[in-house]
Amino acid sequence: MATTTSIGLSQRTSLTTGQLPRFSPVWLLVLSWIVVGGLFTILVLAGITSDFNIVGTVFFGTVLYAAIIYVASRVVEGERRATDRLMAALVTTAFIVALLPLISLVYTAVSNGIARLDPTFFSYSMRNIVGDQPGGAIHAIIGTLEITGMATLLSVPVGLMTAIYLVEYGRGRLARAITFLVDVMTGIPSIVAGLFAFAFFSLIFHQQGIRFGFGGAIALSILMIPVVVRACEEMLKLVPNELREASYALGVPRWLTIVKVVLPTSVAGIITGIMLSISRVIGETAPLLIIAGFTQSVNYDLFNERMMTLPVFVYTQYANPGSDVQAYLDRAWAGALTLILIVMALNLLARLIARFFAPKIAR
């Protein structure tokens, strides 16, 4: 009886002692940031650096946290638990480091572009705008939405049907050849797609300097199709074969199984993949500059004359400033922020659509 009691006490002691407090990782991370931030503040006060480096504070503070949490856990909890905490700290460090460029980019775009996000920016074009006149980007916003929308209409059916063929029907050499070509298309530089569209329509219409919005949509669709194919293919592969076999067992033909079972089951992932492809091409500048061209006026017709887009608008405002440089830079930052907001809105809309159309599973 005494032996059993002593064994139980030793087990409870080994399990309940030698543990860091529950929220110690959080407090150590904050403490590490404070310490590194204090060092950067001292450097600023000493005149060694001119500005306080918040990105460096977060980065070096997180690296310091990984070292501190390992040493503290090694002293209190032992080697095995310390190794586990070190791996968790390294994962946290990688996550924070990956977020730093994104947060820095969004902060820079918002801080520099929010001042020009006024009614004038969304209601006026750059037609007849000179000097320090405010001007706007309505012509670029309309061009971006029309060209990207047309590219999506062209790319999604082709990409989705290609993915369906590869997953449901494709076998043998033809399927392998299509997969290889899709992989090759994924790595095509965007400017090559623009040059292809320009050469293609120049030969068809026998017009050397052809520029129009539909050509830009074709160039973007070339870049979108492989992304749509890959994303949809992976989502279709995730559908359990048991669902297909159950449908076949009821006498449902393959095409109807795909329409009624496979696609509704994977619709959320397919929509997400389509949104990724749109985000991939909506910021392209080179192909649109080549085939869609540059204009200061609003153009609603995709099939006639040049059409402005937001990426080209941002590029031209930054690269070719007029007499009032700051006004051009403000418009460039506002255009970049507008592009970010459009991508965020499209992703939010895609999530809502995916949630609405996703199959309802009863609990």
Give CA–CA dist 302/215, Å, rounded: 8
Give me 248's structure tokens.
């076949």
pLDDT tens figures, 110-127: 999 998 888 889 988 888
What's the pLDDT score for residue 15? 44
Burial class of 124 by CB neighbour count within 10 A (0 to 12, 13 to 18, 19+): middle
Sorting pLDDT into bands at 50, 70 and 90, what band is 34?
Answer: very high
SS3 297: coil
Sorting pLDDT into bands at 50, 70 and 90, what band is 217?
Answer: very high
Q: How many C-beta neighbours within 10 Å does residue 78 have? A: 11
Q: Which runs of consecutive H residues, i.e. helices, occur in 133-212? A: 138-164, 172-186, 190-205
What's the pLDDT score for residue 360? 63
* Cα–Cα nearest to 231, from 267, 256, 191: 267
Burial class of 140 by CB neighbour count within 10 A (0 to 12, 13 to 18, 19+): buried
What's the pLDDT score for residue 11? 44
Burial class of 280 by CB neighbour count within 10 A (0 to 12, 13 to 18, 19+): middle
**361 vs 199, which has greater pLDDT?**
199
Query: Do residues 92 and 84 lie in contact, with contact meaning Cβ atoms separated by under 8 Å?
Result: no
Q: Which domains does the chain have, with CATH numbers?
A: 17-116 (no CATH), 138-357 (1.10.3720.10)
What counts of helices (H) and strands (E) characterise the chain? 15, 0
pLDDT tens figures, 41-82: 888 888 887 778 788 888 899 999 999 999 999 888 888 888
* Cα–Cα nearest to 71, from 59, 85, 51: 85
Give me 91's structure tokens.
């994962």
Query: Rounded mean pLDDT of the chain?
Result: 86
Sorting pLDDT into bands at 50, 70 and 90, what band is 272?
Answer: confident
